[in-house]
Amino acid sequence: MVLSLRQMEIVELARAEGKVLVEELATRFGVTLQTIRRDLSELADAGRLARVHGGAVLRSGVANIGYAERRNLNADAKAAIGRACAAAIPDNSSLFLNIGTTTEAVARALLGHRNLTVVTNNLNIANILAESESCEVIVAGGVLRRSDGGLVGDLTREAIAAFKVDFAIIGTSALDNEGELLDFDSQEVHVSRAIIGRARQAFLVADHSKLTRAAPVRIGSLRDLAAIFTDRPLPQPLARKCADWDTAVNVAERS
């Protein structure tokens, strides 16, 4: 089943809040109760949600949504974030790019750069940057995760340990109010930590929807990063924390 953008957002809301209600969703999206009931029924038939009285709940609280769905979700915001982050990367730099649809947006925005060395555990990013003749692409080998083209595991971490780069650009599945970066796959988290540890500066790229999500495995904290690139201002309490940590907050402008 191919989900509509509204249905993808409903699944995201259910993941963040545990339960969604028909009336609240109808108000949020400006559609009829009947439309929302139909959305929930289709999501239940697809195995994404379970119907309950007045709404629906998530079937599983520990799985991420599908890769193709994530790529389409907030695509304009991710493209803007990608451009903003790429603008902060000078030519003649070395960098890590990890698994994620937003880091892939960064890779597309880097195609105009010169003399980059990019280490990645994301086969999609390797294919994107293969178009640039002036970019050297190094793939950190490991166990292939077929769902999204990611490479994870001990071999990936060992490969990353051989490098020390200028920048690490990472994504995350969720970002909480304390500035904690969270994900679903512990193997991917171990790789992300290794990437951060082998870079002189680390940037997070994350659209606003990550602030409404929850995930069970901790990557690290914004306090440990040089900057976050996002598409909307952070909530004031988190923005103040970033100021105290000297973590720059860059809000991308959509074209």
Question: What would the CATH number be for the domain defined by 74-251?
Answer: 3.40.50.1360
Rounded distance, CA 74 to CA 51, Å?
26
Query: Residues 214-250: pLDDT tens digits?
Result: 778 899 999 999 999 999 999 999 999 999 999 999 9
CATH class of 5-61: mainly alpha
CATH fold match for the domains 5-61 and 74-251: no
pLDDT of residue 72: 62
Give every residue of the chain whose pLDDT is below 70, as ranges.
Answer: 1, 16-17, 59-73, 255
Indicate the helix (H) or strand (E) that contains 131.
none
Q: Tens digits of per-residue pLDDT, 14-28? A: 876 678 899 999 998
Please report, to the nearest 10 degrees, the dihedral formed by the alpha carbons of residues 213, 85, 204, 136 taken in order: 120
Give the pLDDT of residue 61.
46
Show the tokens assigned to 183: 């994900």
Asked if residues 83 and 240 have their Cβ atoms less than 8 Å apart, the reply is: no
- Parse the chain into domains and list their residue ranges: 5-61, 74-251
pTM of this structure = 0.75
Dihedral (CA of 109, 115, 119, 125) sign: positive
For residue 4, which of 22, 34, 27, 29 has the smallest C-alpha distance? 29
